[in-house]
Chain A
Amino acid sequence: GAVVSQHPSRVICKSGTSVKIECRSLDFQATTMFWYRQFPKQSLMLMATSNEGSKATYEQGVEKDKFLINHASLTLSTLTVTSAHPEDSSFYICSAQRGGTIRPDTQYFGPGTRLTVL
C-alpha cells in the first residue's frame, strides 16, 4: 500500500499562535511531498512542494514566512502555520510521492487536518 498519515486530525487555536501539522509516509519513502489547502465545498489548492533535504517551493501567492515547511526525512514533512488568524482556518492536506521511475509519479493523500483559528 501507500499510506500517508497526518497529525493532528483537528486543531483549534487562538489567533496569533503557531500550529504545526505533521505528514508522514508510513510504508514508503517519499522523496516529494505536497501541501494543499481546501476551503469548504471547494477544490484542492496547492500551496507548496517539499523535497527532502532542500527548501520548499511555494506557489504564487502563498507566503513562505507564514507557512513554514520542513522536510527533514524521507518519511516526514511538517507545515507550521505561524501567527495564525481566523482566515487561515481551513482543511490542510498533504500528499506524498514514492519517487518511482514512471513520471509524473502518483500522489497519495493524507487524511487532512482541520484547522480552526478563533
Chain B
Amino acid sequence: GENVEQHPSTLSVQEGDSAVIKCTYSDSASNYFPWYKQELGKGPQLIIDIRSNVGEKKDQRIAVTLNKTAKHFSLHITETQPEDSAVYFCAAPKGGSNFGNEKLTFGTGTRLTIIP
C-alpha cells in the first residue's frame, strides 16, 4: 500500500509571500494526487489535483508540481491571504485490493498560518 509523508507540519508565512508544502509517496504506480484544504470544524475541500500525465497544474494562485522520478509533489500558494490559513492535506491512491486505486491515503497535514 501507499505511504505518504508531508512536510512541514506547520508553516507561518507573511501575507503576500508564497507558501510551499511538499509530499512524498512510495508507490511508483500512483497516478493521482489531490490537495485538500480543511478549515476548523469543516470537511476537506478539494483545491487542486494532478494526474501523472502532467508535471504541473495551475489554478490562479495555486499550483501543484509533480516529480514522478523522485516520487514527490508540492503545493504552491502565491500571494498568500489571511483566508488561506487552514490545514492542508495531500493524498495519493491507497493501492492494494478492494478498489485500492480509488481509495486515498492522506498525508499528516500542514497547518498554514498567514500572518497579516
Residues of chain A at the chain B interface (Cβ within 8 Å): 4, 6, 32, 34, 42-44, 46, 49, 57, 93, 97, 102-112, 114
Q: Can you report 8 A-B residue pairs in the complex whose CB atoms are below 8 A from each other?
A: A46-B103, A46-B105, A49-B103, A57-B98, A57-B99, A93-B43, A109-B36, A111-B43
Cβ-closest 9 pairs across A and B? A109-B43, A112-B43, A111-B43, A109-B44, A43-B106, A44-B106, A104-B102, A57-B98, A104-B32
User: Looking at chain B, what size class is its interface with the partner chain?
Assistant: 20 to 34
Select which of B42, B93, B98, B102 is within 8 A of A97 by beta carbon. B102
| B3 proximal to A (CB < 8 A) | no
Select the residue from B32, B43, B107 with max chain A CB neighbours within 10 A: B43
Within 8 A of A (CB), among B40-62: 41-46, 49, 51
Q: Which residue of B lies closest to A10 (CB)?
A: B41
Contacts of A57 in B (CB 8 A): 98-99
Q: CA A34 – CA B32 in complex, angstroms?
A: 17
Not counting A42-B109, A107-B104, a sample of 12 additional A-B residue pairs whose C-beta atoms are within 8 angstroms of each other reads A49-B99, A49-B102, A57-B98, A93-B43, A93-B44, A97-B102, A103-B101, A104-B102, A107-B34, A108-B46, A110-B43, A112-B42
User: Residues on B close to A: CB < 8 A?
Assistant: 31-32, 34, 36, 41-46, 49, 51, 89, 93-94, 98-99, 101-109
Q: How far is the CA of A85 from the CA of B102 in the complex (A)?
A: 31
Task: Note all chain A residues with C-beta closer than 8 A to B108.
Answer: 42-43
Given contacts A44-B89, A106-B34, contact A32 B104 (CB under 8 A): no
Q: How far is the CA of A106 from the CA of B32 in the complex (A)?
A: 9
Q: Which residues of A contact B46 (CB under 8 A)?
A: 106-109
Residue pair A34, B103 in contact (C-beta under 8 Å)? yes
Hey, which chain A residues are within 8 Å of B49, CB to CB? 106
- Bound together, the chains give a CA A6 to CA B44 distance in angstroms of 13
A43: B residues at CB distance < 8 A: 89, 106-109
The minimal Cβ–Cβ distance linking A40 to chain B, given in whole angstroms, is 11
State the CA gap A104–B101 with chains docked (Å): 6
Question: How far, in whole Å, are A86 and B108 apart by their CA atoms in the complex?
Answer: 24
Which chain A residue lies CB-closest to B94?
A46
